[in-house]
Amino acid sequence: MTDKLSKSDAVRTGTAAMVKAEGVHKSFGHVEVLRGIDLEVKQGEVFCLIGPSGSGKSTFLRCINHLEKVNAGRLYVDGELVGYRQKGEKLYELKDSEVALKRRDIGMVFQRFNLFPHMTAAENVIEAPVQVKGVGRAKAKERAMQLLERVGLADKAGNYPSQLSGGQQQRVAIARALAMDPKLMLFDEPTSALDPELVGDVLDVMRDLAESGMTMVVVTHEMGFAREVGDSLVFMDEGVVVESGHPRDVLTDPQHERTQSFLSKVL
């Protein structure tokens, strides 16, 4: 509990924005998925995105590490523009290699885990540090074992993903993302594909991670987790931010009618 308090202090004192969105728009063909998103994720903060499906929350998350290209507006991660370089008034698209370089610092956890099925749990965790950062195999292996230990799966290091349950796969996926020592972690509905029984294990790992001070942006339907662990919460609908604030306030006393009707259905 003291950990949690000290961490909250850090959040309150830290003013640097890890993610900053200014009027972010995104369309797929004629469908406008994001219609002007403005928000700020502070360093060390657990930032929860909730909303009905199709509200654009996952799309926004994917914009943060440039898996989707923003059509209009500006999106910054750690003070740097995502996907572009600005020189005077002009924007220049970043090369693939430059985008890849920035993605190293942003961990991402997917709804469908997306573990590499032809590699064991340990190999999944080792892969990126060795291939991308050029870390030595032995050193990466040691680190991987520590991370698997941290997510409670040290004994499953030699298992292939198909031999693991959904919850175990998702925890390996978290370890895989952490192996790159990211400064920001993105979670795209990390528990939505899991059996209800297995959700708890994954949330425990995420809670542990939040307590260590990691900046996290979490798209989730787990209102309990948002209330308990979240520092900020945003309710999105139809591509816009409807309501934002501290999770306790928004979840218990929603101001906006749309938020009220959504929460009455999910809580």
Give 103 or 150: the residue with its C-beta nearer to other proteins. Answer: 103
107 binds other proteins (CB under 8 A): yes
Q: CB 106 → other proteins: shortest distance, Å?
A: 7
* Site for other proteins, residues 109 to 128, rule: CB under 8 A: 110, 112, 114-120, 127-128
What does R_g of the chain's alpha carbons equal in angstroms?
18
Q: Where are the alpha helices (DSSP H) in 193-256?
A: 196-211, 223-229, 247-252
- # binding residues, other proteins (CB under 8 A): 38
Residue 208: how many CA atoms within 13 Å on its side-chain side?
15
Q: CB 104 → other proteins: shortest distance, Å?
A: 4
Q: How far apart are the first and last CA of the chain?
A: 26
Q: CA-CA distances (angstroms) from residue 39 to 36, 123, 240? A: 10, 37, 11
Give 74 or 103: the residue with its C-beta nearer to other proteins. Answer: 103
212 binds other proteins (CB under 8 A): no
Give 76 or 160: the residue with its C-beta nearer to other proteins. Answer: 160
Q: Which of 86, 66, 78 is nearest to 24 (CA)?
A: 66
Q: Which of 8, 131, 212, 255 binds other proteins (CB under 8 A)?
A: 131
Q: CB 113 → other proteins: shortest distance, Å?
A: 8
Q: What is the 3-state secondary structure (H, E, C) of 102-166?
A: HHCCEEEECCCCCCCCCCCHHHHHHHHHHHHHCCCHHHHHHHHHHHHHHCCCHHHCCCCHHHCCH
Mapped onto helix, strand or coil, the DSSP state of residue 2 is: helix
Q: Which of 57, 143, 156, 171 binds other proteins (CB under 8 A)?
A: 156
Q: Which of 22, 38, 142, 155 binds other proteins (CB under 8 A)?
A: 155
Residue with tokens 């750690």: 78
Task: Report how far residue 220's alpha carbon sits from residue 50's, in angstroms, rounded to the nearest whole number.
Answer: 6
Q: Which of 97, 134, 138, 265 binds other proteins (CB under 8 A)?
A: 97
Q: CB 227 → other proteins: shortest distance, Å?
A: 28
Give 146 or 159: the residue with its C-beta nearer to other proteins. Answer: 159
65 binds other proteins (CB under 8 A): yes
195 binds other proteins (CB under 8 A): no
Q: CA-CA distances (angstroms) from residue 48 to 92, 99, 104? A: 31, 25, 22
Mapped onto helix, strand or coil, the DSSP state of residue 253 is: coil
Q: Which of 28, 53, 139, 158 binds other proteins (CB under 8 A)?
A: 158
82 binds other proteins (CB under 8 A): no
Which residues 6+ apart lie within 8 Å of 249 measured at CB? none
Q: Which residues of this protein are in contact with other proteins, per CB under 8 A?
A: 65, 67, 96-97, 100-104, 106-108, 110, 112, 114-120, 127-128, 131-132, 155-163, 173, 176-177, 180
